[in-house]
Amino acid sequence: MSLAHESAGVPPWQQAMAAAYRRPEELLAELGLDPGNIHTAMPDFPLRVPHSYVRRMRCGDPQDPLLLQVLPQADEHHRVAGFTDDPVGDLASARRPGLLRKYTGRALIITTGACAVHCRYCFRRAFPYHENLSDSTFTGVLDELRRDTSIREVILSGGDPLSLSDRRLEALLQALDTIPHVRRIRLHTRTPVVLPERVDAPLLRVLAQLRKPLVTVLHCNHANEIDAAVADAVAGLRARSAAVLNQSVLLRGINDSPDALVDLSEALFAAGVLPYYLHQLDPVAGAAHFAVDDDRARACVTGAAARLPGYLVPRLVREVAGADAKLPLQT
């Protein structure tokens, strides 16, 4: 890192985020892959992937499970019945701009539309962030959270809340920390997995100030995503969290086998993370090629459960608009 950048006060993680790959041809060249296989992304959801995540991909393997999560494919452009822009009823559950209310006692804040990575299967890939977020959004959201004493738990989501600057994140967390009826704060983030340098000393200082218990829920889909830098980031988060959990999405060709799920759970545990949910894909337009049918999904989890201690088996669930919880798929 150059001294010029340091003196400009741009933290290394923000530089890394800004330097992410955005052009498929550059990414493919880096991996020694044929640039003839480039497909254009939707203009509002372009390729975005940090260098450190790309370093965990296998060179020369077009089926690499990390690459498949981020590389736009021709299939994205196919319209498939049942796959829509608002697959889990987010719009209907908006209590006010930036605040979703679906489940008893819990409220979810859309903190930002930005992410360090663009996951092709993202259920909020078409979320109208610009209509939901403005400079005054947090003020209104906080007023509502203070007013509604039924809220026990506040979830910071997005986008990815760790895309916020430390200053904005600190202001939001500090405000939540002073609301008497809020018992726990949850941080839902994929950033420590895709850009572990985000979990730096200043961020950990922000989290250490909280008096309420913090529950950190990561989003990791494959054992190859966890390297030494991710394990370090998790160690930092563990020291400041009451629990560090993980949710995954079941993705065709990426983690839809008992072997892949066993390896993922073992790698998570080795890093100090417990599996929480394994989500059936939300039917978002452009992601149908990642779908795994329910029978196969159950078989993957049953196969993994035969080889893992119970506490390392994630709960296989589907989100259904209007339901009062994430619904388990019976296995």
Site size for ligand PLP (CB under 6 A)? 8
Among 155, 223, 264, 316, binds ligand PLP (CB under 6 A): 155
Shortest separation between residue 106's beta carbon and ligand PLP, angstroms: 4
Q: Is residue 190 part of the contact set for ligand SF4 (CB under 6 A)?
A: yes
The interface with ligand PLP within residues 83-142 (CB under 6 A) comprises: 100, 102-103, 106, 108
Residue 246: enclosing H or E segment and its boundaries? strand 243-249
Burial class (CB in 10 A: 0-12, 13-18, 19+), 293: exposed
| Among 145, 81, 125, CA closest to 288 | 81
| Among 114, 234, 127, CA closest to 164 | 114
User: Which is closer to ligand PLP, CB of 101 or CB of 307?
Assistant: 101
Q: Work out what residue 117 binds among ligand PLP, ligand SF4, none; the CB cut-off runs from 5 to 8 Å by kind.
A: ligand SF4
Q: Work out what residue 326 binds among ligand PLP, ligand SF4, none; the CB cut-off runs from 5 to 8 Å by kind.
A: ligand PLP
CA distances from 211 to 10, 47, 203 (A): 28, 38, 16
User: Which is closer to ligand SF4, CB of 176 or CB of 281?
Assistant: 281
CA–CA distance, 73 with 247 (Å, rounded to integer): 24
Q: Work out what residue 48 binds among ligand SF4, ligand PLP, none; the CB cut-off runs from 5 to 8 Å by kind.
A: none
Among 16, 47, 68, 117, binds ligand SF4 (CB under 6 A): 117
Q: Is residue 326 part of the contact set for ligand PLP (CB under 6 A)?
A: yes
CB burial string 172-198: b at 16+ within 10 A, e below: bbeebeebeebebbbbbbbbbbbbbbb
> Residue 183 has which token pair?
């018992």
> Residue 80 has which token pair?
């498939």
Q: Is residue 24 part of the contact set for ligand SF4 (CB under 6 A)?
A: no
Q: Strand 153-157 vs strand 274-279: parallel, antiparallel, or unpaired? A: unpaired
Q: Is residue 160 part of the contact set for ligand SF4 (CB under 6 A)?
A: yes
Among 118, 186, 279, 326, binds ligand SF4 (CB under 6 A): 118
Residues that bind ligand SF4 (CB under 6 A): 115, 117-119, 122, 124, 158-160, 190, 219
